Amino acid sequence: MELNILELFSGIGGMHYAFEYSQLKGNVRAAMDINTVANAVYAHNHRQTPVMNNNIQKLSPKTIEKLQINTVLMSPPCQPHTRVGQKRDIEDKRSDALNHICEMLPMCHTVQYILMENVKGFEESIARTKYIEALEKSGFYYREFILTPTQIGVPNTRHRYYCIARKANDFSFDGGQILTSLPGAETFKTKSLSSLLEQVTLPEFRLDEKVLKKRVWLLDIVTNESTNTMCFTKAYTHYCEGTGSVFCPLALSEMQNIFAKLKSMDDANDGCNQTEYTELLQKLGLRYFTPREVSRLMCFPDNFDFPKETTNRQKYRLLGNSINVQVVGELIKLMCET
């Protein structure tokens, strides 16, 4: 069976790349999102796919039938289920689109497969309960997961909720609870962080002196020898703490030696030698990951690109709102496995 896909909340096209990663037969018939900047990125990379700049609430079963859609891939807004979004759940207007899909789903008779991604925490929401009820009412079998890319060898932590559903027949592995591993994940080898890095000389990616002095002890710093990075959020580089890792080009031992010297100066309260302290901080060579490196850590292929007019700030925001391509690609294969 070939997949005729509708990509909802399509963003920069992560689900499209995940489908390509799966190597299954089919095509993405259309994508839909209200973010015009994201839509421009999507269209830049997938010129053959119609991108509808519409609110999801305008989607109807008639449109799905007209497009002959049998597969829906979607990543609804996560803000209603996050601390930053105050966890307002279905009371948040941004939940209305998913609620519309839940109401519409029993009337979408051509849809045979659905994959949904959301933030960790969605599994405890009323929205999740309503979504599962809609799947069951529409005759779908489903499995739920909480997964992170590190489980399949990608050196990046990004815990997310996933639900795969299909009508044809039940899955070959047990459900009834939220699964925390992907079947067959033990076969994946960990990718080297160094293989994902660019040669960066541009000063715009270096952490400035003010940030270093205030925040250096709070940063998640990784080196070539690291096997993991923090989840990159849409606020990466705008806020340096808790939004993603930063990179140190030094050997781990050399970096640790510098930090030992900095700590010694801090403990001695040596405020007289600020010049040496600043020189040590700068010697670390700390920099942000570039948008290309972040996209690689999220498993976007190197042929993925942004339009020239997209700013770095926009790139980080768009990537922070996207998905891990390889995790979703593996789930698409699992969803369609016979």
Residues 6+ apart with CB under 8 A from 238: 313, 316
Strand partners, 27: 4
Instruction: Give the phi and the psi of residue 204 in degrees, each rounded to 5.
Output: -65, -20
Q: Which of 78, 163, 231, 299 is catalytic?
A: 78
Task: Give the separation between CA 256 and CA 192, rounded to whole angstroms.
Answer: 21
Residue 141 · residue 167 · CB < 8 Å: yes
Residue 34 · residue 22 · CB < 8 Å: no
Residue 198 · residue 263 · CB < 8 Å: no
Task: Give the separation between CA 158 and CA 28, rounded to whole angstroms.
Answer: 25
- 78 a catalytic residue: yes
Task: Give the separation between CA 50 and CA 139, rounded to whole angstroms.
Answer: 29
Q: In terms of C-beta distances under 8 Å and separation of at least 24 residues, what long-range contacts does 257-262 make, across chains too?
A: 258/283, 258/284, 262/216
Could you say which DSSP state residue 125 is in? S
CA torsion sign, 235 to 144 to 227 to 12?
negative
Residue 69 · residue 5 · CB < 8 Å: yes
CB atoms within 10 A of CB 234: 17
**Listed residue (23, 25, 108, 124) closest to 74, CA to CA:** 108
Instruction: Give the phi and the psi of residue 337 in degrees, each rounded to 5.
Output: -65, 135
91: helix, coil or strand?
helix
Q: Which residues are catalytic?
A: 78
